[in-house]
């Protein structure tokens, strides 16, 4: 299969590219390599994929490590550059993981989210439409559940009350995808990720920030006075699910009832899945496991809830488990240990 993965210099995109490459597929990556966080980390991921730092915009680069991987540096909001790329290549599937991420950043940089998550995603939909790509999977987020307090979060729940612009753009992606599924028969699957962590993770995520602070003897910020919990999900478990989705694109639901429409399916080839861990973890337990791994007591500043954040996420993954035999295996204690081991090696090499 010939697969296009956007966001391949990013955390999940990098790991998915490795998985698809190792499974023998022909993989083409796209990323703008923006400076939302440390570019050294993005270049590190690309170097591990065999792509050197000397990457020119809008020029296809071949991997020195994997003969079945190529990389194209392009912003998804650049419709002309994207069109040139898709015109030259005929893809069997697209997985769109490129996005402007982060709840808190959306409070101060709202236009970045419209450009990347709305304009960029529309361009991907248009590429699928005009170049007859029927298999599209894309990143949504558990943030779409917003004010909902029915736990665990089910893909059958309402997501009409987001509390951050980031969440609103991800909800918009789901609506846009359904429209293109209905009008153009594109098979779309939205993936609501739940707090993904692991080696090569994002520096703005909790485990990365906590580990960095702990090793440098700094104080960490703990919001809502630690009264928070998450379905922390190890990266390998996420990638297992995403890969299964690519190999099993959405189909119209035979049981869909227009008089009682299901939010997770449709008469169109459209599906929404929660993808995360079925283990809900208290934030303080998560921090304690990190302290045990590092053998330190981390200094903590207890703070109130941040605007746009939620006290709890808890994934109901019954739909993806039933449909695709998705079964996350990694405990948060094991996952933290693997992350810390990677972190120490990576930053020792990149002092």
Positions marked catalytic: 166
**Residue 42 CB neighbours (<10 A):** 23
CA dihedral 293, 297, 302, 305 (to 10 degrees): 0
Instruction: Give the residues across from 140 on adjacent strands.
Output: 192
CB 310 within 8 A of CB 163: yes
The Cα 70–Cα 341 span in angstroms is 29
Instruction: Residue 241: name the closest of 328, 306, 167 by CA.
Output: 328
The Cα 297–Cα 300 span in angstroms is 9
Contacts of 342 (CB under 8 A, 6+ apart): 198, 199, 200
CB 181 within 8 A of CB 250: yes
CB 166 within 8 A of CB 106: yes
The gap between the terminal CA atoms of the chain, to the nearest Å, is: 39
What order of strands is seen across the sheet that includes strand 135-141? 60-62, 69-73, 26-31, 2-6, 93-96, 135-141, 187-193, 270-275
- The token duo for 287 is 């921090």
Residue 146 DSSP label: T
**Residue 310 CB neighbours (<10 A):** 22
């Amino acid at each position: 299969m010939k697969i296009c993965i956007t966001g391949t210099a990013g955390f999940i995109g990098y790991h998915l590219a490795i998985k698809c490459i190792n499974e023998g597929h022909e993989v083409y990556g796209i990323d703008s390599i923006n400076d939302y966080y440390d570019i050294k980390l993005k270049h590190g991921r690309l170097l591990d994929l065999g792509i050197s730092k000397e990457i020119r915009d809008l020029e296809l680069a071949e991997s020195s490590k994997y003969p079945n991987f190529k990389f194209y540096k392009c912003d998804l909001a650049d419709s002309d550059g994207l069109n040139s790329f898709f015109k030259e290549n005929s893809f069997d599937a697209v997985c769109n993981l490129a996005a402007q991420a982060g709840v808190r950043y959306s409070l101060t940089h709202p236009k970045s989210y419209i450009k990347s998550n709305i304009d960029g995603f529309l361009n991907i939909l248009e590429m699928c439409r005009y170049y007859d790509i029927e298999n599209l999977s894309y990143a949504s987020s558990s943030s779409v559940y917003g004010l909902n307090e029915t736990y665990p979060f089910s893909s059958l729940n309402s997501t009409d009350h987001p509390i951050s612009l980031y969440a609103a753009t991800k909800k918009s992606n789901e609506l846009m995808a359904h429209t293109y599924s209905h009008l153009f028969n594109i098979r779309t699957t939205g993936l609501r990720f739940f707090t993904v962590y692991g080696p090569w993770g994002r520096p703005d995520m909790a485990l990365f920030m906590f580990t960095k602070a702990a090793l440098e003897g700094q104080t960490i910020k703990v919001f809502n006075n630690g009264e928070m919990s998450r379905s922390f999900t190890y990266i390998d478990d996420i990638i297992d699910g995403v890969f299964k989705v690519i190999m099993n694109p959405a189909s119209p639901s035979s049981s869909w009832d227009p008089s009682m429409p299901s939010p997770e399916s449709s008469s169109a080839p459209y599906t929404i899945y929660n993808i995360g861990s079925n283990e809900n973890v208290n934030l303080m337990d998560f921090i304690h496991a990190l302290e045990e791994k590092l053998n330190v007591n981390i200094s903590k500043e207890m703070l109130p809830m941040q605007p746009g954040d939620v006290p709890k996420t808890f994934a109901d993954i019954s739909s993806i488990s039933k449909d695709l035999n998705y079964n996350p295996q990694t405990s948060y204690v094991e996952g933290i240990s693997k992350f810390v081991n990677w972190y120490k090696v990576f930053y020792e090499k990149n002092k």
